[in-house]
Amino acid sequence: MVEGKVAIVTGAAMGLGREFSLELAKGGAKIVIADREEEKGLEFERELKDSGNDALYVNVNVLKEESVALMIERVLEHYGRIEILVNSAGVTQGKPMEEISVEDWDLVLNVNLRGPYLCTKYVLPVMKKQRFGRIINISSIAAMMGGGFVGTSHYAASKAGIVGFTIATAKEGAAYGITANAIAPGPCRTRMSSSWLADHEEELARTIPVSKVGEPEDIANAVLFFASERSDFITGQTLAVDGGLTTIGKVV
């Protein structure tokens, strides 16, 4: 489905980014592990290579423009092209609004929104020149529900911003064979959610129409679809992968 294509995955050293990378690698993509965590990134690079995959770790801070520019330069030096960008680096916090400091707000908005903007800004000219590209952004059902839980207003705002940013990117890229789509995961078993789920999974599952929380593979399958030729006629869309939760607008 993505055989031979070069895929940059931000936040790829762990969590959902790692799962996205594994799924794309299964499809034959060359994986660029773009992450600040050098030790984990290099370890994952070795793991992918030992499994027969083509992989490259690049240290990047998605909040710094010069770091993102250097990452793109490094990838082009190594591979000569970039077909897929998955903006999956993200952060969340759980605090009531009156306890969210300006620093908290800026951290969440910057990682979740400025990061995808900078990566897209620098990859878009490459994809335009190629006249081909697939950009996949990771939003959240928090964008549609105002935050799944009390105390996630800054997270919800950042992920709603991703929805609008995805539509704008789709419009700019359409004439050049570039699609941009977003995925909005619902409750899912991830590194960030594991501690909370340990105490609330059964209660949460009862609120989801399919009666279970999602697995990382559920989200990764959607990433692979949007990265492949099977999604050629789809752009500017946000796909909720949430077990039907947004159909009832209810969460714990």
Neighbours of 183 (CB within 10 A): 28
Alpha-carbon span 110 to 62, nearest angstrom: 9
pLDDT of residue 249: 62
Strand partners, 101: none
Q: What is the mean pLDDT of residues 11-18?
A: 95
Q: Pick the catalytic residue: 57, 79, 155, 176?
A: 155
Alpha-carbon span 147 to 165, nearest angstrom: 18
Could you tell me if 112 and 91 are in contact, meaning their C-beta atoms sit under 8 angstroms apart?
A: yes
Structure tokens at 91: 């952060």
Q: Which residue has the higher pLDDT, 242 or 77?
A: 77
Give the C-alpha distances (Å, rounded to integers) separating 26 from 34, 53, 224, 238. Answer: 18, 8, 10, 24
Percent of the chain scoring above 90 in pLDDT: 73
Which is it for strands 84-87 and 30-35: parallel, antiparallel or unpaired? Answer: unpaired
φ/ψ of 186, rounded to 5, equals: -95, -160
DSSP code for 174: G
pLDDT digits (tens, 9 = 90+) for 196-227: 676 777 777 777 778 678 789 999 999 999 99
Residues in contact with 144: Cβ distance below 8 Å, sequence separation at least 6, in sequence order:
160, 184, 240, 246
Structure tokens at 139: 């939003």
Neighbours of 51 (CB within 10 A): 11
Q: What is the mean pLDDT of residues 184-197?
A: 74
pLDDT of residue 129: 98
pLDDT of residue 252: 46
pLDDT digits (tens, 9 = 90+) for 22-68: 999 999 999 999 999 999 999 999 999 999 999 999 999 999 999 99
* The model's pTM: 0.93
Question: Please, what is the average pLDDT of the chain?
Answer: 91
Alpha-carbon span 115 to 95, nearest angstrom: 22
Q: What is the mean pLDDT of residues 133-150?
A: 84
pLDDT digits (tens, 9 = 90+) for 103-127: 998 999 999 999 999 999 999 999 9
Establish whether 155 is a catalytic residue.
Answer: yes
Alpha-carbon span 34 to 189, nearest angstrom: 22
